[in-house]
Amino acid sequence: MLYTEEVLRAYRPAEGFYTSEVRAPNPQPVRTFLPTGYEPRYPYPLLVFFHGQGGNEEQTVRLAPRLSRRNFIAISLRGPITLGPRSDGRIGYGWGDGSHDTLNEDYMLRAVEQTRRNYHVHSERIYLAGFGRGAELAYRMGLTFPEKLAGVISLNGTMPRQGRPLLRMPEVRQLRAFIGHGIANSVIPLSLAKADYRLLYSAGLDIEMRTYPATHRLHLDMLRDVNRWIIERCNKE
């Protein structure tokens, strides 16, 4: 059935933040950011955000429009471990040390599937973006499911030092990776991120690493570089 442009506009959701949930197996929140001028007929790249230790899904999804207001759909998930209130009064969460991986994997896959049902997502442009400790989960899932994902983004994070996932050859070579790290990061030293870069480069991944004059806090140029990095690779396809 063909629809007129007026009908398509009527069913076109507005830019902004949306809340939903998936059952994995208990209800878990999914915060979604839709870009300006969302076009249902255009297949968008999807970014899946994993917050850092003590963070939450609201904190990370609010970064999406700072990457780009037009280029991506983004979803943000919440860690299964409650860590208690933060300094701003909000509850902080964590992802665990790997013992919750099965639950986290199911959560992520269900959230991606739900987002693809509701919005037009390019099936080969799904990226996992982890901040701080959230990068460990992004790496674990990316290296576990390289055939389902386009790439992994680590911002001020590192690969797991314990229970490191095996590099599935040759499937892992189709995965892309971006590492952005503050040079004065005392929480996760730059040396760990450099070691990750060497390992993934030697495994044959398409990988880029950039450093920034920052501590453990995100630098605005990190987000700009993530936007550029994804768009450059989309244009090469």
Q: Burial level of 222, CB count in 10 A (0-12/13-18/19+)?
A: buried
- pLDDT for 163 equals 60
For the chain, the straight-line distance linking the first and the last C-alpha, in angstroms and rounded, comes to 30
- pLDDT for 1 equals 38
Q: How far apart are CA 153 and CA 69, in angstroms?
A: 19
E strand or H helix at 105, and its extent? helix 101-118
- pLDDT for 2 equals 41
- pLDDT for 11 equals 55
- pLDDT for 14 equals 80
- pLDDT for 166 equals 61
- Positive or negative CA dihedral for 157, 159, 162, 165? positive
Q: Are 78 and 29 in contact (CB under 8 A)?
A: yes
CB count within 10 Å of CB 30 equals 23
Residue 203: both structure tokens together: 């495994």
* Mean per-residue pLDDT pooled into runs of 10, the chain (237 residues): 43 82 86 94 96 93 94 96 84 84 90 94 96 94 91 96 67 91 96 95 94 93 96 84
- pLDDT for 225 equals 97
pTM beyond cutoff 0.95: no
- pLDDT for 164 equals 59
Domains of the chain: 5-236 (3.40.50.1820)
